Structures are given as structure tokens and as C-alpha cells.
Structure 1
Amino acid sequence: MRFLSPAKINLHLEVLEKRPDGYHEVQTLLKRVDLSDEMEVHPGGQGIRLILEGEEVPPGMENLACRAASIFCRETGIPEDLEIRIRKRIPVAAGLGGGSSNAASVLAALNDLFRTGLNSHALMGMGAKLGADIPFFIFQRPALAKGKGERLTAVSMPEGLGFLLLVPPFRISTSWSYETFDRLTGGKRKTGTPLRDSYSTLADLLEVLKNDLEIPALSRYPEIGRMKEALLRQGARGALMSGSGPVTFGIFPSREKAEEARRKLVLPRDWKAEICCGL
């Protein structure tokens, strides 16, 4: 079975107080985009095996996709004899949720492949045991996520937007990002900005464009801020870092406008650009 595993961007991310379980309370607006890894799952053989192409990711059972397959097999009684192939296009450790998307895609694929008939709520419950972003990828709609990211509300957003993603040569650890945010800010905020379940225009979205995790990222990598400014100079209506970073994106009224900006934009050495649309 072959399938695509899409990335996500955060259009709003606020970090609230730290929870007893070590996670932070967050509220974030999430949208999937059509920058995707290519994946395959094949039953048979012995054990859960992972074959990778592209950027290096955690191997074997350290990988979220393999752990998702294992929990699915244990909870459904299916033998843990599978081969998973991942052709990586989503940058790793970049704030785009690639590992979480791979895990969610494996859960959905195995549910189809073995005709186990689990509903999305059951699959999201499995995913939540492995990572905070995994339920969102099973949800498959733009969403407002709260709690540690697992409490989801569908949100309507405008269609047809183009996104120009800028990928630097460095990566940012999620744990470092949250720890540094706490150190720099105190990390005690209990409530966030009131957010709606409908943003009918791009102008509506721009009003809530925000990412608290830019605070730690910019303290170490000020070039992220410079690239946000470069995106705005090339016509982006807004620019933001996604998740814990470091990928930064510009929002455009259409894919064509994003492509036009890419042609004009001069990237620093070893930076890359990806153009995508929302799903």
C-alpha cells in the first residue's frame, strides 16, 4: 500500500503553563500542506522493519512510524510483521510535524489494509499515546488544538493560499525550544488569545498570526527574523516560523504569487525553498 504523509504549519502557537506530565499547555492553529513524504506499508516478513530514503531520521523502533505500527498491531491482535518505507521530503526536526504525520499515516494505512474498522477517534487515541501532533494528522482538517495538542476543534480557513517555506541548514530541538522559552519568559501564562473556529479571509488569519517559540529561536538564530523580513519584502502577506522551527514560511494569496516570490528571493547559502498549498 502506497500513500502520502503531509506536513503541517502552525498559523498561531501560544505556549502556556507547564503541566505536571512535563508537557506545556498550548493553543495552536494547525493546517496541513501538500509537502509530503511518500510512504509504503507491506505486510509479511519478520518483525517491523523500516527502510528510509532521504534525510536521516531515527532508525528502527526509535522512529514514530514503527512505534505507531507496533501499538496498532498490539491493540488489534495483528502480527507485528511489516515493512515500512519512507521517502523523506519533509525536512526533519524543522517544525513541520513530519514524524508525527508518518505515524498517523501508518495508523490510517494499517486500518485500511487489514480492514479493522477502527474509527478516527480510536486511531487518534492510539496516536495520542505516542505524540501530541499525531491526532491532528488523523483529524485531517484545519484545527484549533489545545491541551498538549490533542484536543481538536475544526476550524474553517480560506482556500487557495500559497505558502513559501524556507528551510535553513540548521535544526532546532523541540525540547530545547520549550526549555529556553520557559527560561526567557518565566512560562507561567495560564490563558491565551481568544481564537475563533472560522477565519473566512486571509486578512482574518493575519490578525492571529503568532508563534511564541520564535522567542527562543531568534535568541540563537537571528537569521530567521531576517528571512521573515525578506519574505515580506517579496510580497508575503504574513511570515511566521512553524512550530518549534526553524522552517519559516510566507503566506500568499495563491500558489502563483508564492512562485513569483521564490523566483525573486535570494536565499542564504545552504538554505532551501519549498512551495506548497494547504490541504
Structure 2
Amino acid sequence: MTQLIFSGKEIAPAKINLSLKVLELRSDNYHNLESLMVTVDLCDQLSLFLYKSDKSSWRVSSDRSDLPQNENNIAYKAARAFFKWYEINPDSYSLNLEIVKNIPSQAGLGGGSADAAATLRLLERAFFADDNFEAMPLSYMAHEIGADVPYCYTSGTCFVRGIGDIIEEFPAFPQLPLILFKPPTSISTKHAFAALNAESKANKPVNRSSFKIKYSEIIAEKSYSDFSLLLENSFLPNVKQSYPKINDYMNALTETKSPFVSLSGTGPTLFALYEENADVDVIAKSLSKKFPETLVFKNKIVGQDSLK
């Protein structure tokens, strides 16, 4: 016997790393890191159908043929972790998870992690409709599912440390327009971190207090070009060396009068921030015409309240 007990939808917004500093390699083979992260309004859409069933069947489907549609999908992995943490017998349920992808894969935008976090939120709604539950620990999410999942679950403007499991909410970043610029290549996160092993040992943590003060000053004064003095991405030098065309793309974005251009995550996606009154429609069309081999998205930074 199979009975539908829950159906629901959830958006899965992308993230960008305004900064990403990779520190030492830990004994568990994870790197410590520090990252200032924000949420953007480029979103996947997830639908969950949960059944009480005496013949368990778990299925993930997507409109993207290159996305794993089995236990190798991180959203499937998140569902398994949820059932394990809350000690719910997975053999008593059937699950159908449908994913409509808008966030490109292996782009440094956290698309898979966003889907995993959305899956957790859907399952919370399914099993704890009254909100009377204790959320899964962020450290468990990071180890069992993926390092970006705790942030994608939290969202908003956050300073993230550890392996992604220590999250400090920061003063909200302005909801500025931005361009996301995806070159025609993909970068493996595993390989990107492996290339940094020797260099990251020399990196030291930032002074969070002074970092927060300077960040707040830039936001208050709207002197966004000063972010180039505060924010860095440890992966950018290697990406420039391995994929020299990135330099041309960054120069082109800077020429659009963006006050701050950088790399998100391990790349290859670049982002360009703009003032509130910038005409990003015109900018996006111009970039798409000049670089037809790339994907260009016009978006904006959003806060937690905008996602509800």
C-alpha cells in the first residue's frame, strides 16, 4: 500500500563567495576556510512527493540529463542524512524528488549544495509541520552531505569558517544588482583544493573584528571598489594560470564600470557587483553578444527574508 502524505515545493538559491580564503589542511583531510558569503536570486526549484509505503522506492529526477538521478545526487544524499539523523526508517517511505535546474553545475555557485539544503527544508516541513523540532547540526550537514550545505541551509550574509560548519551572521549586504559570468569550462572542487595544498599552509586567519569593521564601513559609505582591498579568493591565481582567458573576462567585466569583480568559490564563475541604478539588462546583453561562448546571468543579492 502506498499513500501520499506530503507534497511541496522549495526554491534553492545560489550563493557567491565574496571572499574565500583557504587555510591549513586538517587531520581529517578537510581544509579550514574563511569565506564571506551571500545569497543571490538565481534559483533551482525542487518538488518533493513523500509516500508512506510498504515497498520503499527513492527516486530523483531532473530536467538536466547531466545531473545524477540516483544516490550519487547530493539531494538524495541529503535525504538519506535526514532520515539517519532523525532515526526515521527509510524503508517505510517512498520519495520522489524533482529538480528543475537553473544554477549551472561545477560553477562555484553551490548549486548542488543549494538543492541539498532545499531537500532538508522540504523534509522538515513533511515531518515537523508544527516547527517543533531541533534542526540538524551544521557540523553533521558539513561532514555527511557537503561543506557548502550549512551555509545554503542558513543563507543570507554570513562569515563562514571551519569546513563550512561555523557560521556567523554578518550585517546584511545591500541587495545590489550583479552579473554572474560563467565561462565555458568546469572546475572540479577536489582538484582545485588539491592544487592549493602547499600554498594554503602559509595563509593565516583574518582578524574577524577588524574585518567586520572595515566591511561595515564600506557598506555604509557605499565605497564598493574598496572591497578589492579587503576581499580575496585563494583560488583566483591558480584559475588565472590554468585558464588564461579568465583575465580577458575579468577585464571586460571591469570595463562595464563594476566596482568589484572576483571569482566565486573554486570558479570558474565570475561575479561583478554594480551600483543600485546600474542598467544590468544592457550590460548582460552586451556581454552575451561579445562572449557568446559564456553564460551570463543578471541577478541581485538577496537577504533571508526575500527567500520566504
> What is the rounded CA distance, in whole Å, between the counterparts of 2:259 and 2:65 in structure 1?
31
Q: Deviations over 1:81-105 (max 9, x none)?
A: 2100001110101100011111111
Contact 1:163 1:255 in 2 (8 A): no
> What is the rounded CA distance, in whole Å, between the counterparts of 1:278 and 1:119 in structure 2?
29
Contact 1:162 1:251 in 2 (8 A): yes
Q: Of 214, 228, 236, which residue of structure 1 is paired with 2:250?
A: 228
Q: Deviations over 1:38-70 (max 9, x none)?
A: 110100263220011136223311111001111
Structure of higher CA gyration radius: 2
**1:67 maps to what in 2?**
77
Q: Of 257, 264, 272, which residue of structure 1 is paired with 2:279?
A: 257
SS in 1 for 2:230: coil
Q: Deviations over 1:177-228 (max 9, x none)?
A: 1111235x3x312523332175334426714231110122111111112111
SS in 1 for 2:71: helix
**2:306 maps to what in 1?**
none
Which of 249-258 and 222-231 deviates more? 249-258
SS in 1 for 2:206: coil
Tell me by how many angstroms 1:153 deviates.
Answer: 0.4
Which stretches in structure 2 are left out of the alignment for 5+ residues? Answer: 1-7, 303-308
> What is the rounded CA distance, in whole Å, between the counterparts of 2:273 and 2:24 in structure 1?
29
State the identity as a percent: 26
Alpha-carbon distance change, 59 to 216 in structure 1, aligned in 2, over 3 angstroms = farther
Aligned residues: 276
Contact 1:108 1:123 in 2 (8 A): no
Residue type at the aligned position of 2:301: G
**1:141 maps to what in 2?**
156
Residue type at the aligned position of 2:85: E
**Pairwise CA RMSD of aligned residues?**
2.0
Q: Of 30, 53, 59, which residue of structure 1 is paired with 2:63?
A: 53
**2:178 maps to what in 1?**
163
1:176 aligns with 2:199: no
Contact 1:255 1:277 in 2 (8 A): no
Alpha-carbon distance change, 150 to 255 in structure 1, aligned in 2, over 3 angstroms = farther
Tell me by how many angstroms 1:108 deviates.
Answer: 1.1
Tell me by how many angstroms 1:78 deviates.
Answer: 4.9
Q: Deviations over 1:143-202 (max 9, x none)?
A: 00111121110011332201101111210001111111235x3x3125233321753344
Tell me by how many angstroms 1:71 deviates.
Answer: 1.6
Contact 2:24 2:201 in 1 (8 A): yes
Q: Of 18, 23, 40, which residue of structure 1 is paired with 2:25?
A: 18
**1:203 maps to what in 2?**
223
Contact 1:55 1:92 in 2 (8 A): no
> What is the rounded CA distance, in whole Å, between the counterparts of 2:79 and 2:281 in structure 1?
37
**1:248 maps to what in 2?**
270
> What is the rounded CA distance, in whole Å, between the counterparts of 1:17 and 1:126 in structure 2?
21
Alpha-carbon distance change, 190 to 238 in structure 1, aligned in 2, over 3 angstroms = closer
Q: Output the TM-score relative to the length of structure 1.
A: 0.91
> What is the rounded CA distance, in whole Å, between the counterparts of 2:267 and 2:155 in structure 1?
22
1:41 aligns with 2:48: yes
Please list, as runs of the form range in 1=range in 2, the aligned pairs for 1:91-102 lying within 5 A after superposition: 91-102=104-115
Residue type at the aligned position of 1:223: K
**2:100 maps to what in 1?**
87
**1:272 maps to what in 2?**
295
Q: Deviations over 1:105-154 (max 9, x none)?
A: 1111110122163344x253442221111111121221001111211100
Contact 1:165 1:275 in 2 (8 A): yes
> What is the rounded CA distance, in whole Å, between the counterparts of 1:203 and 1:276 in structure 2?
20
Residue type at the aligned position of 2:196: F
Which stretches in structure 1 are left out of the alignment for 5+ residues? Answer: none
Q: Output the TM-score relative to the length of structure 2.
A: 0.83
> What is the rounded CA distance, in whole Å, between the counterparts of 2:127 and 2:148 in structure 1?
24
SS in 2 for 1:136: helix
> What is the rounded CA distance, in whole Å, between the counterparts of 1:248 and 1:267 in structure 2?
16
> What is the rounded CA distance, in whole Å, between the counterparts of 1:274 and 1:53 in structure 2?
19
